[in-house]
Amino acid sequence: MTNAASSFPSPTHNGPLHRHGGRIDALGELPIHALGDDYTVVGNGTVLSLPALNAGVTVALSITGTPTFKNSARLICPNGVDYVAGPGDLAVARSSGDGVWRLFVSPASGVALADRALSLSSTQQTQVQKNVGIPAIMRSYLAGLTLSTAGASTTFGIAAGVAADSTNADIMSLASAYTKTTGSWALGSGNGALDTGSVTVSTWYHVFSIKRPDTGVVEVMVSLAPGTSSAVAISNASPANVNWNGHGLQVNTPIVFSTTGALPTGLTAGTQYYVKLVSDVNNFSVSLTQGGAAVATSSAGSGTHTATSNPILANANAAYTLFRRIGSMLTNGSSQWVKLSQLGDEFLWDVAGQDAAAAALSATAVNQALSVPLGVQTQALISFFANPAATIYFYISALDNADILPSLTNFITATAAGIPAIWNGAMRTDTNRQIRLRASASVTGGYYIQTRGWIDRRGKDA
């Protein structure tokens, strides 16, 4: 069987992962190449070998069927026996050179890394993974775990998949598709996913794959926390103000403080706090409970302070210590999930968000919030429209890029002789879901923006 992947050239490559080599058939010699680092293996055939590539080349094979990997001198399988794979299994093949490959396997069942028959404990499995370097090889890896929402429902779906945890210490494999609800977290498909409190209307939530290293159990959790951290300044005041530039946090988001010195009196390192009031995109106050009184401080403290906003794993079980954000979802006015679809890193709204309609614009730049997740940077997929009578140039940019006055030599779209300015494209947001817009002159009739969706790498570049 011929596969397009086999036509690629094969230069030496020992670089980072995540260059997808495509879908390949499990039949005879797998047509991998040095330009692809991860592949989806389809079919139920027998794999006899892999092409001769340089020693050290490593590829990830995501299994969808039940192929057999035939153990041989060229394909060394776990425990020296044929490996019969299953849907959701993850195999990592490492070249020894001269056409010899060694196969390491992480079954979707999570039973064992090297061979199901070995019956390793979860602790032993984790140690084997570390011994062979799987988490390091698969740094920031994420495949599958696709989110789905039907709209007007408190239930969402998560497809089977595999991800390295946020610290690249372990691999987390969800063996089969799951559903979760907006209720408080409980173990098992069909149960609640929320880490703390109650779901709020018109609010962004972040979805996490979580794992108990002691048992190997992988689950799903939803949180207001985006899984971010930053150095912060904390005032000596009542209430205390936390300054975190571009925090992207919402009211009731969990947050924990640490310091190299002493926190201001009134705050305790390691204690769970919650965002009380968001003053602006850079400042907020905190409380000890969701909806509780704002915390006051009575000293300046010392050292460098850090705020971290992670999901409260302990509310599932204190043994859940590993997590990875796999996406974000929005509730509607009835605390149900807004309908969206996902393909890889792309998330699309069923109905585009109308984020600006006849909004004022001139030669002074404005920041525009979009219908994309808060707390993380994404590539917003937007449609821009303006139709002033005059010839006007428009510049759309990310807030971490330079603010440029648009002109004939520097613009993204423009109007001319009654022709409207129309632009469809992607633009990077800040963590407060904003982009920057600027025109060469005042725009009669203003501008319009719709957000069709976004691209979210979900930590793959970390």
Three-state helix/strand/coil letters over 158-199:
ECCEEEECCCCCCEEEECCCEEEEEEECCCCCCCEEECCCCC
163: which strand partners?
142, 172
Token pair, residue 429, equals: 């947001």
Q: Which fold has domain 345-455?
A: Jelly Rolls (2.60.120)
Is residue 104 within 8 A of residue 112, CB to CB? The reply is no
Which residues are registered as beta bridge partners of 325?
208
* Tokens at 162, concatenated: 């595999």
**From first to last of its 462 residues, what are the pLDDT tens digits of the chain?**
334 333 333 334 444 444 666 889 999 999 987 676 789 999 999 999 999 998 888 889 999 999 999 999 999 998 888 899 999 899 999 998 888 999 988 887 765 444 444 455 556 666 666 665 666 668 899 999 999 999 999 999 999 999 999 999 888 999 999 999 999 999 999 999 999 999 999 999 999 999 998 888 999 999 999 999 999 999 999 999 999 999 999 999 999 999 999 999 999 999 999 999 999 999 999 999 999 999 999 999 999 999 999 999 999 888 999 999 999 999 999 999 999 999 999 999 999 999 999 999 999 999 999 999 999 999 999 999 999 989 999 999 999 999 999 999 999 999 987 899 999 999 999 999 999 999 999 999 999 999 999 999 999 998
Q: Where in the chain are all domains bearing CATH 2.40.30.20?
A: 228-309
Per-residue pLDDT at 327: 98
Tell which residue, 259, 255, 166, 229, has the closest CA to residue 431.
Answer: 229
| pLDDT for res 15 | 41
Distance (Å, whole) CA 40 – CA 457: 19
The whole-angstrom separation of Cα 193 and Cα 260 is 34
Q: Which of 289, 234, 239 is nearest to 264 (CA)?
A: 234
C-alpha span between 181 and 175 (Å, rounded): 19
- Partnered with residue 208 across adjacent β-strands are 221, 325
Output the pLDDT for position 126: 63
Distance CA 162, CA 89 (A): 9
Q: State both tokens at 154.
A: 């408190």
Instruction: Record the pTM.
Output: 0.74
Read off the tokens for 262: 């002493």
Residue with tokens 């680092």: 37
In the prediction, which pLDDT does 134 show?
66
Distance CA 386, CA 23 (A): 42
The answer to whether 137 and 170 have CB atoms below 8 angstroms apart is no
Please report, for residues 149, 384, 392, 415, the alpha-carbon distance to residue 444 in angstroms, rounded to integers and kept in the order given.
39, 15, 10, 12
Distances, alpha carbon 341 to alpha carbons 224, 244, 328, 338, 376, in Å = 20, 32, 12, 10, 19
Q: Cis peptide leading into 239, omega within 30 of 0? A: yes
Question: From CA 462, how far away is CA 430, in angstroms rounded?
Answer: 17
228-309: CATH topology is Elongation Factor Tu (Ef-tu); domain 3 (2.40.30)
Contacts of 359 (CB under 8 A, 6+ apart): 366, 368, 446, 447, 448, 449
Give residue-wise pLDDT tens across range 376-419.
999 999 999 999 989 999 999 999 999 999 999 999 999 987 89
* Total residues found in the chain within this entry: 462
| CB of 421 closer than 8 Å to CB of 441 | no
- Return d(Cα 204, Cα 285) in angstroms, integer: 19
Q: Where in the chain do CATH 2.60.120 domains reside?
A: 345-455
Residue 367 pLDDT = 98
Distance (Å, rounded) from C-alpha 37 to C-alpha 47? 18
For residue 271, the number of C-alpha atoms closer than 13 Å in the C-beta half-sphere is 12
